[in-house]
Structure formats: structure tokens, C-alpha cells
A and B are shown apart, each in its own frame.
Chain A
Amino acid sequence: MFPINVKRLASALLLLLPASSFVFAQNSFKLKYENSAVYAGIEVGAKGVKMSILEIGKNAQKTGAFNVLKDTSINSDFITFSPSTFQATLNAFAGLYAQAKKDYNISTESIFTVVSSGVKSQAEKDNKNVWIKNLIDSFKIKVNEPQREVAVIDVLEEAKLSHLGIVPESRRYTTFLIDIGSGNTKGGFFPNGDTKFLKLFQLSWGTKSVANATEKRCDDDKTLDNYNKQMTRVLTGAENSEIIYMVNESGAYPMSDYIAFSGGIAWSVATLLYPELIGNSVVPVSYDDVVKFSERLYKNYPSISEEAITKSITDKTLDKVAIGKEVKRVNQVFDQKSLMAGTGLLLKIMRQFEGIYEKKQFFLVKNGQVGWISAYVDQHIVK
């Protein structure tokens, strides 16, 4: 009798131990939703390996209820496909996996591992697909999980997953999602009322490419006035040669009521323009607001400093320290000229949807970078 009880007690303790550690893991994060669970998505990207710890709420697909608890990355430059970058990527991949398991106590079933479209397309271009296969195999051996699934995502699937992860179900078929990256812009919408087909949209312009083209035009005159003048010319060229055509060709105007922008510049503009909405992952914005913000960047840049913005906040219920931190982060990522370039490009795209009679509602998405991985996680959760 006694040994049986001891055995039962030991079993119960064994069962309780991981459960309590899971609860601890959940408790160590500040959760946003009542009925939610914590997952980790680890993505091998072109520049490095990224891990997102996500809180996914009940009906996340329906309501867009996901919350980024932690977002961390290690630069490894996998797409150079050299032995050293391969090893660095493998170490980062396995290291983040171990961190999710041990430091955050996330069970292996709740950790999702993928290779992003940036890696896949570059490998196809350079005929280096075998490097991806080797990386996946080496990772499985290193983490000692031969059965682990490591999916390789293509551009279309990533765009589709981004849409599913960011846009709530109620607006799924009326929202055109555009991701303004550093070197290009991509996005799409679901034209047929289902998620089977996503109409892809791509531009060869991004925040950095506009800034680079402008710098190139400036020659020796590095003044802000000249930068602004040359940037107007670069953007007018981009608008006339590509943006107008690509937006028209996408057929998004008649099909979309909402135009949502994600990417670094969307996060920056949203944070600087609406610091009071720091807790919101998405903020509504008007074309006129962005025009005014663009003028502010050029004529009154000090007004977007951490000090100026926190000083302007009068609502005592807002966390000024957190706002200041986020504003500082934006200013560390983008300088005045990059902000001007990104905002200029954003305005040129917005302008294509700013009709005289029919106005679209614009949104800026702040956590777009984890949109697709959250949708991937959400789709693969065993419910």
C-alpha cells in the first residue's frame, strides 16, 4: 500500500513539475489576453535567425488577438552560403531553440521552426538549395529531434501568412496589406472572398532604396534642403515609372476598403505620430496626418525627439517611460533622412488610394514583422 502511494505521489509530482514550470513561464510574461497560450516561432531569415515569443489568444484568426511577448534575433548572414555563416546560423538556430525550451519553459510542441522566403528565393537564385537541406538536417541532429518539422516558406505563402496573421477575419477580404521593407515593398489582398488565392503586389522601392537613390543624386551638396529636393525627384520618378502602374495593375482600389501598411517605416510613423497609442499594434491614420508628419520631419525634426514627444503627452494614464523608450528606439533605427525617405514612399503609395469621392481608411501596423510567423504558429497549433 505504502509503496503504491509513494509511486503515485512521485508520478503526480513528475506531472506537476512541468506544469508548474509552464505556469511560471506564462507568469514570467505579462499576458494580455484571458484565454491565451504562449508559443515560440523561430525563423531562419536572410540576415539572421529570429525568435518571436507570442501570446496567441482565443480566436486569434478572427480577432487578430496575438501579442508579441519577446522578439529577439541573432545576425548570421546565412544567404552568403559560406561554411562560417552556415555554422553561425546553425548555432543561432539551435541556441534560440534551447533558449525557448529552457529559459522560457516552452514545450517542444509549442515551438515552431521555419526557414523564411528570403532564404529560399536566394538559394534558388544561387542554386544553393542543398545548403538549406543541410542546415535543417544539422539542426535536427543538434537538437536531437529527428522528427522535427522545419518548413521552408515561399514568397507567396509568406505574404498570405502575413495577411492572415495581421488582419482580423472581419476585414480579411476588404484589406490590402502592404509591407514597406528596406529594399522593396510587397503585399497583397484576397480578391475572391477566400484565402486560396492572394493577389501579390510588389515594388522595387523600399525605405533604404529611396534613401540611397536620393543620396546618390545629392552629389557634394549634403544639405537637408538639397536632400529634400532630390528625394522629391526620386519619388516622383518612382511614382511615375512604377507605383501608379503597379497599384492599378493589382486591382486593389475597387476591392479594398482598408489599406494597411506594415514594415519598419509604418512602425516608426505610428510610434512618432501617435505615441499615446503605444499599446495598440495597429493605428488608424489619414493621408493628411502623414503629409503633416512628413513636413514636420523636414522642418521641425527636434519635435520628434524622445524629450519633445514625452513632454507633449498630457494624459496621466499613459506610461511616459515606455513611450519615451519606444520613441528612442525609433530614432536609433531611423535617422532624419531615412524617415523622410520612408515617409515619402509611404505617402506616394497612400496617394494612389486617396480619391476625391471615395476615401480608403489607412492603418499602420506596428508588429508586422511577426505577422506571418504568428499565423504559421496559429495554423499549426493542435486545437
Chain B
Amino acid sequence: MRDTKSLSLLLLSSVLFLLSIILLCTWGYQYYHQIQEDKTKVAKPAVPTVPDSTRDSLLKIYQVTLNSLDNRLDTAWYYADSLKGNLDINLKEFYRLRDEIASILQAKAPNAGDLEMARKKIGELQQKVTQLRYRNSDVENENAKLKALLEQMSKETQGMEDNSRLMEKENKTLTAKVNAMASLNAANLSLAALANNDQQETTEAGQTEKLVGSFTIKSNMSSKCDIVVVVVQPDGQVLQKSAWESGSFETAEGNKKIYSCKLHCETSKGEPKQLNFSLTADKYLKGNYTMQVYHNGVLIGKVNKTLS
């Protein structure tokens, strides 16, 4: 794509150059004839006139050159942030030259001196075009370098984010373990099945109307805490108190677990506190029921109950 554009620029420059030579020859020819006429006739002040066709052809070349370049220059102007200072100067010069040439070529009766000036300026304009072309390629190279740098930085940031996430997870696990172990422990865990309108304890699944659990917690400091109770049924499903009282929590290992119920409590330093809960199900399965007690995602107590 760029090669095609460069080639077209080169072609246009060559055409311009050839036309400049033709123009000069025309001008030389006319100048020569004028001198010859001056010698033979009485000298009278005259303004050298240039044929309209010559002027028009120059104007046309100039317009074609500008049209083919304008878009590219505008793009260069827009994207060349890093090299904007230099580009500004070059573009200003380019536009100045363009305006000057335009005003010369659009003059109603340009003299030979003006046309010579226009020729020089077209040459300068061509030089500027070449400079801008190089500058544009510099900008593109610079952009490519910056893009590569950004990609590299993005990869590095991703790595740092991954590390940070890992560290955060490890910290969370450690904090949860330290918090739970240092401040709270559970004892005297019991899980019982009740029958006959809660009057009698049973081991028969068929007779069970309610499961009741209790345990004692002791803390190293006075605080408010949430204790999570998980009762796993023989089929591996968690027995939930109700949708409004059950939920899920994250264990210290980062796994999500459904809980049967959550108990809120306030502990006094060193003072044991008993907590109770009850669970009802539509049907009680025969087999082993496991009660697990969690604090801050860490298992602090466990007990089993078998119903036959």
C-alpha cells in the first residue's frame, strides 16, 4: 500500500519536473523572441504574458499533487502525537508554500519572474512532501514500537494481577485460620433425634420428628460472631432449616458450602456459651448424619449421629 503511494508520488514529482522544464523552455523561447523583436522594433514597455494554457497546466499539476497528498498529511497530522512538534513546523511550511504557489498561479497575468518563483516553490513543495513522507513513516514506526511496549506492559500487569490474586487468597485463608484457631473453639457437640412431640430421644429414622443440636463455644476475647452449622444427611445432601435461614459460605480452602443454619452470638472472654438449633425435614433417611460447626470458614467441631 505504502509502496503504491510512494510510486505515485514519485511519478507525480517526475511529471511536475518535466512540466517545469517544458514551462522553462516555453518561457525561454518567448523571451528569446521578445529580445529579437526588441532589437528590430522600437522598444516599448511590455509585460511578458504567459499563455493561459501553460498556467492552467501548472495549476492542474499543483491541484493533483495537493489532492493526492492532503488525506495522507491529515492522517499524519492526527496520529503523530510523539513527533507533533516537528510535524507542525513541516506542515506549516507546506501549507505556506501551497498558498504562495496558489496565489502566484491564480494571478491574472503572472510575469516570468513570478513563474520562475512558482517553479522554485513547487520544487520546495516537492521536497517538503518527501520530508513529510519520511516523517510519516517515522511516526508509524514510533507507533508500532509504542504498541509493542504497551502489549509487553499489559502482559506484565496481568502477571502481577494473578500474583496479587493468589496472595490475597492465601492471606484470606491464613487470616481465617488464625482468627478461628486463636479466638474460638467448640466443645460438647451433640446431635439428637426427637420423637413424640419432642418429648423423647430416638435412634429410629421413622420416628424422628426433629433433629436438635447443641455445642459450647469458648472465645479468647469478647466479640460478636457468626457460627455456621452444616448437617449432612446420609445421601450427602445438606439438611436445610428453611430457604430463609440457610445459605452458603466459603470455607478456608476457598470452596463454597451450603449451610443448614447460621447462629449469631456474643462471646465474653474465656466464658463458655452454649448454642442450640433444631432442624426439621419432611422425611428422615436411615444412616449417618454429620454435624459440622464452622467459624470464619474453618471447621471447629464435628459429630456424627446414626439413625436406623
Contacts and interface: CB of A to CB of B under 8 A. Distances in A.
Interface of A: 33-34, 63-64, 168, 171, 274, 276-277, 280-284, 313-317, 363
A168 B244 contact: yes
A282 B282 contact: no
Contacts, number: 45
Interface string B252-268: 00011110001000000
B111 interface: no
Given A34-B283, A280-B246, 15 more contacts: A64-B243, A64-B244, A276-B248, A276-B257, A277-B246, A280-B240, A282-B243, A282-B244, A284-B247, A313-B256, A314-B255, A315-B255, A315-B256, A316-B236, A317-B237
B256 A276 contact: yes
A281 B246 CA distance: 11
Given A34-B283, A315-B257, A63 B242 contact: yes
A315 B251 CA distance: 12
A276 B243 contact: no
Given A34-B282, A317-B236, A277 B247 contact: yes
A64 B240 CA distance: 14
A281 B243 contact: yes
Given A168-B242, A282-B243, A282-B244, A276 B258 contact: yes
Contacts of A34: 282-283
Contact of B244 (A274, A317, A363): A363
The 4 closest A-B pairs by CB, nearest first: A282-B243, A34-B282, A284-B247, A280-B243
Interface of B: 236-237, 240, 242-244, 246-248, 255-258, 262, 282-283
Nearest to B237: A317
Nearest to B282: A34
Nearest to B281: A34
Contacts of B255: 314-315
Contacts of A280: 240, 243, 246-247
Contacts of B262: 284
27 contacts: A63-B242, A64-B243, A64-B244, A168-B242, A168-B244, A274-B247, A276-B248, A276-B256, A276-B257, A276-B258, A277-B246, A277-B247, A277-B258, A280-B240, A280-B246, A280-B247, A282-B243, A282-B244, A284-B244, A284-B247, A284-B262, A314-B255, A315-B255, A315-B258, A316-B236, A317-B236, A363-B244
A276 B258 CA distance: 7
Contacts of B243: 64, 280-283
Nearest to A175: B244
Contacts of B246: 277, 280
B107 to A, nearest CB: 45
Contacts of A277: 246-248, 258
B124 to A, nearest CB: 41
Nearest to B245: A284
A168 B243 CA distance: 10
A315 B244 CA distance: 21
B148 to A, nearest CB: 23
Nearest to B258: A276
